[in-house]
Amino acid sequence: MPSLKTFSRGGVHPPECKISAKMNIEVLHVPQKVSIPISQHLGAPSTPLVKRGDMVKVGTPVAKTSGFISANIHSSVSGKVANIAEVVDTSGYPRKAVVIDVDGDEWEESIDRGSDLKKDISLSRDEIVQKVLESGVVGLGGATFPTHVKLMVPQGKKAEILIINGVECEPYLTSDHRLMLERGEELMVGIHIIMIALESDKAIIGIEANKPDAIKYLTGLAKDYPGVSVQTLKVKYPQGGEKQLIKAITGREVPNKGGLPIDVGTVVHNVGTVLAIYEAVQKNRPLVERVVTITGKSVKKPGNYMVRIGTPVQDLVEAAGGIPENSGKIISGGPMMGKTLTNLDVPVVKGTSGILIIPLDESKRKVEGNCIRCGKCVSVCPLGVEPHLLYALSKRGDWERAEKEDVMNCCECGSCQYTCPAHLPLLDYLRVGKAEVGKQIRARHNKK
Amino acid sequence: MNNLMLSSILSLSGVGVLAASILYIASKKFHVEEDPRIDQVEGVLPMANCGGCGFAGCRNFAEAVVKAGKLDGLNCPVGGAECMAQVAHIMGVDVQETEPMVAVLRCNGSRKNAPQKTHYDGALNCFAAHALFAGESGCPNGCLGLGDCAVACSFDAITVNPETGLPEVDDDKCVACGACVTACPRDIYELRPKGINSKRVYVACMNTQKGAPAKKNCSVACIGCMKCVKATESKSVSVKNFLSYIGTDVDTESHGPQLIDCCPTSAILGVNIEGSKNA
C-alpha cells in the first residue's frame, strides 16, 4: 500500500477519542433566550442594527458588517430584543451582545426552509459573493474569517485548486465528519458554487484516513461532479491547519511572513462553511445555526447537534445529560486549541465547533519542570519556529527579538505543549507573544 | 644565556614604554572635558539604577542634572528629599520641594470581596492570564493576583498576601519608581502623593462596567452612582465610564471622611483618615 499523503514538517498524533462519530446530527430545541455577540468573527466587530424592544424573526439582521473584514449577524430566533448587554463569551471577557427573549419560531419569509436539494445555480459570480456577504457566512472551522473575502480572488492571482477541509484533526470533534456523511449532496453543490465564484475548475476534498465512511460516500458522490475529487490523508495533527493541508494535498508551501494560500494558487474552505454557502446561495438562508459536537469521556449522551447561534452552552450540556460528576473543565473547541469556559452562560457562536467536558483527573496541568533543551517542541512544530526560544523571549518580554524569531508564524496548534516532557506552558506564552507583537506591528502600521 | 635574558627584558620594556607613550598621547589628544560635578552627583545618588527618575540609570540622571544646571522636573524618588538636597548643594541651586509619592493599588477585589468563580491553572503571571480571560472573580478590570508587580519591584516593597490574593505595598519601602505601574497589564497601580501625615483617599476600583454587572463580581466595586461627586462637589472627584476617580489634588482634610462615608459600596478607601468607617 502506498503511503498516504500528509504534510512534511512536524506534527503529532494525539489519541483521537472520536466518541460521537456515530451519532446523527440532532436538532437542539430552540432556547428560551439567546445572546448573540456582535464580535463572532475575525476582524472588526459588527454594528448593532436593533435596539431594546425590537421584534425580530429568524434571519432578521441584528448587526451589520463594519468594514471589509467583518461580517453581518442575523437573529437565530424570533422574539423581542431584551437588551444589548455585555455577555461573557469564549474570549473570557464580557463583550457586547444582542440578547433576545424567544417567542415562538417565526422565520423571515424570504428564507427557503425546505430540505429539498437545489442543484441549479442561477447566480453569477458577483451575486454569489454578495449573497455570502449578506448572509454573514464566516469560516466555520474555527478561525471565523469572513468567507466573502476568501471568495474574491485578488487581481493577477488565480485560484487553480479549491481545497475543501474535511480533515477535522482535533481529537474528540466530529461535527464536520457527520456533516460530510449526512449533508454530502448539499456539500457537492456548495463546492460547485465556490468553484464558480473562484473561477476554478478543480476541487479536492481532504479527509483523514480515520473517516473511511466519509471518504467512501463522498468519493461516490464526486463522480457526478466534474473536477471534484477526494484525497485520503494520513492521520496527523494539525493537518486541518490551512498551510498544512495545502502542503499535504498539493505539496505547495505557503510563504511565511504573511503569505496567503492564494499566493500558491489555492483557496481552502471548511466543509461547514461550504454548507453555509450552499444554504446562503440556494436557500437564501443566513448563518443562524451550526453543528456543534458535545462530547467527553464521561458524558452520558455525547452527540452532534444543530444549534442556533447564541444558545447558552448550558442548554447543550443539558441535552447531553448534564455535567458528569468529577468533571474538571469545559472546553469550547477541541482539546488541543480550545479554550476553557468560565461559565455555562457563554453562548454558542459561529466559531464553536464543539463543547468538550474533561474529567477532573485529566484536566489538571502537570507540574512545570525546566526546559532540558531536548528540542522536541522544535521537531513537532509544523511551521518550523522554535517554541522553547519564543517561550523564553515572551516570558522575558523581549518583543523585538520575538518578532525577529517569527513568533507571528505560530498557528497556535499546541503541538509543542502537547509534546513537551517538562510540561512547560509553551502555547500560553506563544499566544501572549503573538498578541503583544501583533499589537506592536499594528501600531507601527497605523503610524505610517 | 645572559644575552637572551637581557634582550628579552630590554625588548619587552621597550614595547611597554612605547605603548604607554602612545596611550599618554592619545589620552591628551582625545581628552573629553567632563564636568567633575557629574561624578559628584552620581556619588550621592543611591545607585539603584531603577529608572524611577525616567532615565536609564543613575549616571544618565547625573548627566541630565548637570546638563540642565537646575533641578526642574528632575527628581530621584529613591533618594528622596535628603539625596536631592545634596544634589542641589553640589549644583549650587535651591532645593526643589517635591512631594513624596507612593504606589497605590486601585483594586480591593480580595478573595472575600470578589469570590473566586473559576480556577486558573495556566501560566502563572498576570500578563499571560490577562491575555486569556477576565480573572477568577470574573471582573475584567480587577487585580489578577499573580504578582507581576511584586516581581517587578526592585525594592521588595510589594508582596502578594496569600489570604486576600491581593498585593500589598509597603509604604516605607516604596520609592515610587513606577516599575509596578508599567508591569501591571491592567493599569491598576497609580503613583499618588503620600499625603500630609500619610493621609490619602482614593477609589480602589478600576471596573468600568455598569453598576449591576460590576457588583455581581465584586461587593466593593465602584458602580458609578455619582454619590461621591454630589457629596463633595469638588472638582477633583469625577465619574467616567461608571467609574469614579479621585484626583491627587483632593483635599483629604475636608473631603476625606466625607468621600469614604458616602460610598455605598465602600469602593473609596482612606489611609490614616480618622472618623470614617474604614479608618
Q: Which residue has the cell 504606589?
A: B103
The last residue of a domain, from among A362, A386, A402: A362
Whether residue B133 and residue A91 make contact (CB cut-off 8 A), yes or no, is yes
Contact A431 B131 (CB under 8 A): yes
Which parts of A152-267 fold into alpha helices (H)? 175-182, 184-198, 212-222, 242-250
Same domain, A416 and A386: yes
**Domain count along chain B:** 2
User: Do B80 and B116 have their domain in common?
Assistant: no
Distance of CA B100 to the CA centre of its chain: 11
A98-111 pLDDT, tens digit per residue, is 999 999 899 999 99
Helix ranges, chain B (H): 2-29, 36-44, 58-68, 80-91, 126-132, 148-152, 179-183, 211-217, 227-232, 252-262
Measured CB to CB, residues of chain B less than 8 Å from chain A are 117-118, 121-123, 125, 127-128, 131-134, 138, 140, 209, 213
Residue in B with minimal Cα distance to A430: B128
CB-based contact (8 Å) between A439 and chain B? no
- Taking the CA of residue A87 and the nearest CA in chain B, the distance in Å comes to 10
Q: Please report which confidence band the pLDDT of residue B279 belongs to, taking 50, 70 and 90 as the band edges.
A: very low
- What is the residue range of B140's domain? 101-271
Confidence of residue A208 (pLDDT cuts 50, 70, 90): very high
Predicted ipTM of the assembly: 0.82
The pLDDT value recorded for residue B248 is 85
Q: Which of A337, A364, A429 to mutate to test the interface with B (most CBs of B within 10 A)?
A: A429
User: How many CB atoms within 10 Å of residue A48?
Assistant: 18
Chain A residues in contact with B128 by the CB 8 A cut-off are 425, 428-429, 431-432
Question: Residue A61: pLDDT above 90?
Answer: yes
Contact between B104 and B190 under an 8 Å Cβ cutoff? The reply is yes
Domain termination site, one of B71, B91, B111: B91
CA of A394: which chain B residue's CA is closest? B128
Chain B interface includes A253 (CB < 8 A): no
Q: Do A47 and A73 belong together in one domain?
A: yes
What is the edge-to-edge ordering of all strands in the sheet holding A327-332? A25-27, A303-308, A289-295, A354-359, A327-332, A339-340
Do B189 and B110 lie in one domain? The reply is yes
- A57 to chain B, any CB pair closer than 8 A? The answer is no
Instruction: Please judge whether A425 and B118 are an interchain contact, meaning their C-beta atoms are less than 8 angstroms apart.
Output: no
- Say how many Å lie between the first and final Cα of chain B, rounded: 90
* Contacting residues of A for B119, CB less than 8 Å apart: none
Coil, strand or helix at A376: helix
Residue A343 with chain B: CB contacts under 8 Å: 117-118, 138
> Within a domain: residue B242?
yes
Cβ-nearest to A425 among B118, B122, B131? B122
Residue A11 lies in a domain: no
Which of B118, B132, B137 should one mutate to test binding to chain A, selecting the residue with the greatest count of A CBs within 10 A? Answer: B132
- CATH number of the domain bearing residue B45: 1.10.15
Total domain count, chain A: 3
| A68 vs B: CB within 8 A | no
Give the range among A120-134, A332-346, B30-44, B179-193 with minimum mean pLDDT: B30-44
Which of the two residues, B203 and B233, has the higher pLDDT score? B203
B245 and B116, same structural domain? Answer: yes
Distance CA(A232)–CA(A241), nearest Å, equals 16
Phi, psi of B225 (to 5 degrees): -80, -10
Last residue of a domain, one of A283, A308, A343: A283
Say if the Cβ atoms of A435 and B131 lie within 8 Å.
yes
- What is the distance between the alpha carbons of residues B207 and A289, in angstroms, rounded to a whole number? 34
Q: Are B74 and B208 members of one domain? A: no
Last residue of a domain, one of B91, B123, B155: B91
Is residue A170 domain-resident?
A: yes
Shared domain check, A163 and A31: no
Any B CB within 8 A of A428 CB: yes
Q: Are B45 and B83 in the same domain?
A: yes
Q: What is the CATH number of the domain that holds A322?
A: 3.10.20.600
Over the stretch A283-302, which tens digit does the pLDDT of each residue have?
A: 999 999 999 999 999 999 99
Interface contact B121-A88, CB threshold 8 A:
no
Distance set, CA B180 to CA A239, A342, A421, B99, B141 (Å): 43, 28, 34, 19, 16
A125-136 mean pLDDT: 94
A160-180: average pLDDT: 95
Residues A151 and A256 in one domain: yes
Instruction: Kindly state whether residue B12 falls inside one of the protein's structural domains.
Output: no
- Domain span at A258: 125-283
Contact across the interface for B121 and A429, Cβ inside 8 Å: no
CATH of the domain at A152: 3.40.50.11540
For residues B51 and B186, membership in a common domain is answered with: no
Q: Are residues A436 and A413 in the same domain?
A: yes
At residue B94, the pLDDT reads 82
pLDDT for position A2? 60
Q: Which of A240, A256, A283 is the last residue of a domain?
A: A283
* Residue from B117, B118, B210 whose CB has the most chain A CBs within 10 Å, to mutate: B118
User: Is residue A8, in this structure, part of any structural domain at all?
Assistant: no
- A266 and A134 in one domain? yes
Lowest mean pLDDT among A28-37, A301-310, A429-438, B96-105: B96-105
Question: What pLDDT is attached to residue B277?
Answer: 54
pLDDT digits (tens, 9 = 90+) for A214-262: 999 999 999 999 999 999 999 999 999 999 999 999 999 998 877 899 9
Task: For residues B77 and B173, state if they share a domain.
Answer: no
Q: Does residue A16 belong to any structural domain of this protein?
A: no
- pLDDT at position B33 is 83
Check whether residue A185 and residue A234 sit in a common domain: yes
B59 and B149 part of one domain: no
Q: Is the peptide bond before B167 cis (omega within 30 degrees of 0)?
A: no
Q: Do A86 and B138 touch (CB under 8 A)?
A: no
Q: A180 and A260: one domain?
A: yes
Regarding whether B246 and B200 lie in a shared domain, the answer is: yes
Structural domain contains residue B278? no
Query: Based on the domain organization, do A147 and A275 belong to the same domain?
Result: yes
Same domain assignment for residues B71 and B133: no
A/B interface, count of CB pairs below 8 Å: 47
Contacts of A410 in chain B (CB under 8 A): none
Any domain includes B78 = yes
**CB proximity A342 to B under 8 Å:** yes
- Give the cell for residue A52: 431594546
A429/B134 Cβ within 8 A: no
Residues 71-100 of A with CB under 8 A from B: 85-86, 88, 91-94
pLDDT digits (tens, 9 = 90+) for B209-268: 998 889 999 999 999 999 988 888 888 889 998 999 998 888 888 888 888 888 999 999
Residue B279 lies in a domain: no
pLDDT at A356: 96
| Dist. CA A230–CA A164, nearest whole Å | 9
- Indicate whether A301 and A322 sit together in one domain: yes
Q: Are residues A273 and A251 in the same domain?
A: yes
Q: Closest Cα of chain B to A177: distance in Å?
A: 30
Which residues from A are below 8 Å from B142, CB to CB? none
Q: What residues does A205 pair with on adjacent strands?
A: A164, A230
Do the chains contact at B140 and A94, CB–CB below 8 Å? yes
C-alpha cell at A317: 450540556
Cβ <8 Å between A94 and B134: yes
Element (DSSP H or E) covering residue A426: helix A426-447
Asked which of B52, B70, B91 is the last residue of a domain, the reply is B91
Q: Are residues B212 and B130 in the same domain?
A: yes
The cell for B87 is 544634589
> Is B254 or A276 the better-scoring residue by pLDDT?
A276
pLDDT tens profile B214-230: 999 999 999 999 998 88
User: B252 and B164, same structural domain?
Assistant: yes
Q: Which of A84-88, A128-132, B69-73 has the lowest mean pLDDT?
A: B69-73
Spatial distance between the Cα atoms of A55 and A53, rounded to a whole number of angstroms? 6
